Amino acid sequence: MILLDHVTKIYPGDKKPALDDVSLHIEPNEFVFLVGKSGAGKSTLMKMITKEENPDAGKIIIGGIDLDYIKRRHIPHYRRRLGVVFQDFKLLPRRTVYENVAFALEIAGMSTRDIKHTVPKVLELVDLLDQAHKFPSQLSGGQQQRVSIARSVARQPKILIADEPTGNLDKLTRKEIITLLQKINDFGTTVLVTTHDEAIVNNLDKRVVTLKNGRIVADQKTHGIYKLDGDPEDFKPKPKEPRNAQKLRH
């Protein structure tokens, strides 16, 4: 579904590459965490996928489309196939929750009747149907992020990429958002989430790809423990807990 083949990106004026010979293959329906410290190259990688940036070397193929061959006029069509979620939500402040979600469908040319049918369903999925007529400024951070997720999944994309979706949220809301992303993954969408939140990564049994200084230093397909400041060696299988350990903790 997502294939990066020896991708390198050096921003003009920088000596060190933002991405250095990165190769990554994500299968359909996978849920992948992309982790690393600030400046590790996570956002650059996301920008490559959304075609905001082009690699200096290497190849990127997303959903059967080689991004090298995409012309400028094709980019909007390509992006409509992706769901994108941002740390700062990027909602349209002058539009209501309903209008924000409907916007993603309107630009794709969906009829008003279909939009009226789809938007309530999507808002129900993110549990915001009763907030449909509010403006983003009237919502909490968690609710805004759920609107952002609703907007990104309204077109039923095959791929959802979320750049630090929990970065601005409290602990409880973070958990809600990740649960929601898991739910979307269960419907068959490939989900790629960048984060540097150890707790989130360690609580889920998902694939974790670690970037450091623009290189992939670990690709842990089984459940491991991730430490933000740690080296790849820190990804060690979780020791099996004694059966009654949980009971003992309580």
Sheet harboring 2-9: ordered strands across?
19-26, 2-9, 57-62, 65-66
CB of 50 to another protein, least distance (A): 6
Q: Taking CB under 8 A as the rule, does residue 1 contact another protein?
A: no
Within positions 208 to 237, which residues make up the interface with another protein, using CB under 8 A? Answer: none
Residues 94, 194: Cα–Cα separation, whole Å: 28
**Under rule CB under 8 A, residue 80 binds another protein:** yes
The smaller minimum CB distance to another protein, of residues 111 and 179, is found at 111
**What is the Cα–Cα distance from 161 to 67, expressed in whole angstroms?**
16
Among 63, 120, 141, 167, binds another protein (CB under 8 A): 63
Q: Does 144 bind another protein (CB under 8 A)?
A: no
Asked whether the beta carbons of 89 and 145 are under 8 A apart, the reply is yes
Closest approach of another protein to the CB of residue 71, in Å: 8
**Using the rule CB under 8 A, which residue among 37, 90, 175, 215 binds another protein?**
90
Pairing verdict, β 57-62 and 31-35: unpaired
Is residue 158 near another protein by the rule CB under 8 A?
no
Residue selected from 103, 129, 175, 234 as contacting another protein according to rule CB under 8 A: 103
Binding of another protein by 196 (CB under 8 A)? no
The answer to whether residue 78 forms part of the interface with another protein (CB under 8 A) is yes
Q: Residues 17-46 vs another protein: string with x where CB under 8 A?
A: ------------------------------
Among the listed residues 16, 23, 27, 106, the single contact to another protein using CB under 8 A: 106
Which listed range, 52-60, 171-179, 192-200, 239-247, lies at the site for another protein (CB under 8 A)?
A: 52-60
Among 11, 28, 56, 93, binds another protein (CB under 8 A): 93
Q: Rg of the chain over CA atoms, in angstroms? A: 19
Gap between the Cα atoms of 14 and 94, Å rounded: 37
Contacts 24+ apart (CB under 8 A), 47-50: 48/4, 48/7, 48/9, 48/19, 49/2, 49/82, 49/159, 49/161, 49/192, 50/79, 50/82, 50/84, 50/161
Length of the chain: 250
Dist. CA 66–CA 69, nearest whole Å: 6
- Site residues for another protein per CB under 8 A: 50-53, 59, 61, 63-66, 69-70, 74-82, 84, 86, 90-94, 103-104, 106-109, 111, 151-152
